[in-house]
Chain A
């Protein structure tokens, strides 16, 4: 099996899993409670369909496909940013003041990335819009990775009881951290075989990792309302059970 076939197989496996998770969410009545997942999956699947249509009609080397690819990439990163913001809101559900602060932080990050992306391209006045989209989406991507880490640390610090939220955030972390590492390696090892392998295998694997983690979070981790009451002690599982029972 050639590299392109494996890459296609992984990509299609990711699409099938995304569609499967979307169906699972809709059929089991999670559409309202986990609207951010539904929103992200619908956006992602819509983008896949749009890219396939443009590729089929205009070809890989066309400017239409280039514009479509990067515009949809921007939409996908914005959708992920909305998911991160929504998870922040979920984590701050018991703390209104914290949510006010986080909302301000998220707005500031978005405005700062817009300004930085615009000024970093002031020398390319002829293609400013298309290059702005590329720069903006890449900056927002890394900012989302940092925000996801902040979100995870916040859930730990505030002792958020929602186990499912922690699992969903971890899945999102894989989706952001893997490709961010891949892109940095791609930049450092320009033209090398290693960087090509990263693009071919690693990105779809991270996507699959996120969807599988979300699947697990939705299907196996109990909802906050249904979660069993924690035991009085908060020691980890491996320290909890006593050998004297054996």
Chain B
């Protein structure tokens, strides 16, 4: 009885570990430049300021405000992922996996907040997912021919 329980526990832990590793490896994908910056500017996204507040200022985490900012950015970026310069108007498999990872990390953030343990790690991870989404949207927009209008003009008309 002990051995199957041990194998079950270890195997489930390893399964989640490998799934997280795959997500982190996707997030580590290098872009030749920061495509997310025009997207952040055009849509007034707030995740860079959350990251700066968490990384640079050793102040207590404003949990409720940061959660709201990240959730709003997520809604905006997931909409753009689906509709901005995307002819199929569908998420790719990679997008779906990272959206699921965002929800799981957000859930872990809430659990950590409830248990009063470190909230900075999941917050930084959420900002990294949003930055990746911004880079993907920026790359798509950048590689689309918009004739004489700029990428940010196009995004603002969406």
Contact = CB atoms under 8 A, between A and B. Distances in A.
Interface of A: 142, 145, 149, 152, 163, 166-167, 170-171, 173-174, 176-178, 180-181, 183-185, 187-188, 212-213, 216, 220-221, 228, 230, 236-239, 241, 243, 245-246
Contacts of A166: 21, 25
* Majority secondary structure of chain B interface residues (helix, strand, loop or mixed): helix
B18 interface: yes
B124 A184 contact: no
Contacts, number: 101
B4 A237 contact: no
Given A180-B7, A180-B11, A185-B8, A245 B28 contact: no
Contacts of B15: 173-174, 177-178, 181
Contacts of B124: 238-239
A145 B21 contact: no
* Majority secondary structure of chain A interface residues (helix, strand, loop or mixed): helix
B22 interface: yes
Interface stretch (B47-55, B64-72, B74-82): B47-55
A11 B5 CA distance: 27
B141 interface: no
B118 interface: no
Interface stretch (B33-41, B106-114, B147-155): B33-41
Contact of A237 (B5, B21, B93, B132): B132
Given A184-B8, A188-B4, A163 B28 contact: yes
A57 B28 CA distance: 50
25 contacts: A152-B21, A170-B18, A170-B21, A170-B22, A170-B25, A171-B18, A173-B21, A174-B22, A177-B15, A177-B18, A178-B11, A180-B14, A181-B7, A184-B8, A188-B1, A216-B93, A220-B29, A228-B30, A230-B30, A236-B128, A239-B51, A243-B48, A245-B37, A246-B37, A246-B41
A174 B128 CA distance: 24
Q: Which of B25, B27, B28, B131 has the most CB of A within 10 A?
A: B25
A140 to B, nearest CB: 14
Contacts of A185: 8
A145 B8 CA distance: 12
Contacts of A174: 15, 18-19, 22
Q: Which of A163, A183, A216, A241 has the most CB of B within 10 A?
A: A241
A245 B52 CA distance: 12
A173 B18 CA distance: 6
**Interface residues on chain B, size class:** 35 or more
Contacts of B21: 152, 166, 170, 173
B94 interface: yes
A239 B27 CA distance: 12
A23 to B, nearest CB: 18
Given A188-B1, A241-B34, 11 more contacts: A163-B25, A174-B15, A177-B18, A178-B11, A181-B8, A181-B12, A184-B7, A228-B30, A230-B30, A238-B27, A238-B128
A184 B4 contact: yes
A107 B144 CA distance: 54
B146 to A, nearest CB: 22
Contacts of B17: 173, 177
A178 B22 CA distance: 15
B125 interface: yes
